[in-house]
């Protein structure tokens, strides 16, 4: 039987794969695993969601499941995923639940859980929850049934937290923010304005169906055009649940997560906040980041792809910064998970404090041309063991030397092998990637 939990919670097509019955059951199971009933303490959960239409249905089911297990439910409404994680700690809750499918299209939805303190769950705890789904249980009755109520100041608590985590004001900056018609539609413009920026918000009118629809961090065209048309200093793009942040500079040029981390790392080092002059990246981070940080005297630790692996390394090492090229950035001193709004405010604070443009700050790093090809295969394991593939990879690596890089990575969810090549030119990267993809595709 396939594992219920994926790389980031439970996801699926809402009301088909991810049904209200499943949502109720998994929430009740999570409550049994993550809380204790000792008579002196009544467990409490924080529940939030993004604006997609199915979130209303699933929130009701999750709240019912938690209450059926004797947990009081504090509903915080439509807020970013990192806001829910923050509020779990801020409100002293025992667990948190975010109902969102992040950057996925509207028909999908998902359920993410946080333990006390707003911490993401390790695989072992997710396995316990899955096992608890089928375990016999005695439900509370009478006064033991959980109560459900709304927290009126959740939004303001989160915005105040963001302002407190921003090292300086943003006065003088003009920014366009693309809210992806998602969870940050209200919080992002408010936080940036209260920090002093002049804010133009686009895609900030969610109707339950338009989340991530041609907008947000996966579709930057509207943001690029708006920044140029408005004469803004920069643009910020969030995804549907706002745990990511990408940017564009004043000319409309993209600034990805690697470049954002470079800007933040140098700012944090200057402020004495960059522990061990090091930060954490994944194997997908651009070679240009490695070169720029080597030249700046900053060390890198590299993990597998996925924010959970970045977070594990941050916890193990005590480092102060980590993230992914996709814009998922973690700053453990201020957040327990990736927070796109926090990332944006720290990035804008650096621009405001230095008086330098985002293009100049990000220009410390030169992105190497990077080509990624997804190759559908019959068996990922056969490809990984193939001597033909390893020989082809070795040949390309020898040709590139220290001017490029090759990475073959199996998909975690599909029968795909991702072929990534970096090289000094787009043409060279494309040629090498096509060559390797053809070899991978031929493996039987």
Give the active site residues.
Answer: 102
Backbone angles phi, psi at 3, to 5 degrees: -70, 135
Backbone angles phi, psi at 19, to 5 degrees: -95, 160
Query: Is 307 among the annotated ligand-binding positions?
Result: no
The answer to whether residues 188 and 238 touch, using CB atoms and an 8 Å cutoff, is: yes
Q: Which residues contact 98 (CB under 8 A, 6 or more apart)?
A: 9, 47, 48, 49, 50, 81, 84, 85, 111, 112, 114, 241
Tell me the Cα Rg of the chain: 22
Strands 299-303 and 278-282: parallel
The answer to whether residues 350 and 263 touch, using CB atoms and an 8 Å cutoff, is: yes
Rounded to whole angstroms, the Cα distance separating 76 from 398 reads: 55
Q: Which residues contact 367 (CB under 8 A, 6 or more apart)?
A: 256, 258, 259, 286, 288
Closest Cα to residue 373, out of 287, 428, 433, 286? 433
Backbone angles phi, psi at 312, to 5 degrees: -60, -45
Tokens representing 319 are 């480092």
Query: Is 94 among the annotated ligand-binding positions?
Result: no
Rounded to whole angstroms, the Cα distance separating 230 from 157 reads: 31
Rounded to whole angstroms, the Cα distance separating 94 from 436 reads: 49
Query: Is 386 among the annotated ligand-binding positions?
Result: no
Bridge partners, 108 (sequence order):
13
- Supply the DSSP string of 308-319, one letter for each residue: HHHHHHHHHH--
Rounded to whole angstroms, the Cα distance separating 180 from 95 reads: 27
Query: Is 222 among the annotated ligand-binding positions?
Result: no
User: Binding site: residue ranges?
Assistant: 102, 239, 241, 243
User: Binding site for Mg(2+): residue ranges?
Assistant: 102, 239, 241, 243
């Amino acid at each position: 039987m396939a594992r219920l939990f994926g790389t980031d919670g439970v996801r699926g097509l809402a009301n088909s794969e991810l049904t209200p019955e499943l949502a109720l059951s998994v929430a009740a199971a999570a409550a049994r695993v993550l809380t204790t009933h000792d008579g002196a303490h009544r467990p409490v959960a924080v529940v939030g969601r993004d604006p997609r239409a199915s979130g209303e249905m699933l929130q009701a089911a999750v709240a019912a499941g938690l209450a059926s297990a004797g947990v009081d439910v504090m509903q915080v409404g439509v807020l970013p995923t990192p806001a829910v994680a923050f509020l779990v700690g801020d409100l002293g809750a025992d667990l948190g639940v975010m109902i969102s499918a992040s950057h996925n299209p509207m028909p999908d939805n998902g359920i993410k859980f946080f333990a006390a303190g707003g911490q993401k769950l390790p695989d072992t705890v997710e396995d316990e929850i899955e096992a608890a789904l089928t375990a016999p249980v005695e439900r509370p009755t009478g006064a033991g049934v959980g109560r459900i109520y709304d927290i009126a100041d959740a939004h303001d608590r989160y915005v105040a937290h963001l302002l407190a985590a921003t090292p300086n004001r943003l006065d003088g900056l003009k920014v366009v923010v693309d809210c992806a018609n998602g969870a940050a539609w209200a919080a992002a413009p408010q936080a940036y304005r209260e920090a002093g920026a002049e804010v133009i918000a686009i895609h900030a009118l969610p109707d339950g169906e338009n989340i991530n629809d041609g907008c947000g961090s996966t579709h930057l065209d509207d943001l690029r055009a708006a920044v140029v048309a408005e004469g803004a200093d920069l643009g910020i793009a969030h995804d549907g649940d706002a745990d990511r942040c990408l940017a564009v500079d004043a000319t409309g040029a993209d600034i990805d997560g690697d470049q954002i981390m470079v800007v933040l790392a140098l700012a944090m080092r200057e402020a004495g906040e960059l522990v061990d002059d090091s930060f954490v990246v994944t194997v997908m981070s651009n070679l240009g980041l490695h070169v720029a940080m080597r030249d700046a005297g900053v060390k890198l630790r590299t993990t597998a792809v996925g924010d959970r692996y970045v977070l594990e390394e941050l916890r193990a090492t005590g480092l102060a910064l980590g993230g992914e090229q996709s814009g998922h950035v973690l700053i453990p001193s201020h957040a327990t998970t990736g927070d796109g709004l926090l990332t944006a405010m720290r990035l804008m604070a650096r621009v405001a404090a230095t008086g330098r443009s985002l293009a100049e700050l990000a220009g410390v790093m030169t992105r190497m041309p990077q080509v990624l090809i997804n190759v559908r295969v019959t068996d990922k394991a056969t490809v990984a063991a193939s001597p033909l593939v390893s020989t082809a990879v070795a040949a390309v690596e020898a040709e590139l030397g220290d001017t490029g890089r090759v990475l073959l990575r199996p998909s975690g969810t599909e029968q795909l092998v991702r072929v990534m090549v970096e090289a000094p030119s787009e043409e060279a990267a494309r040629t090498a990637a096509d060559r390797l993809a053809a070899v991978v595709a031929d493996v039987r």
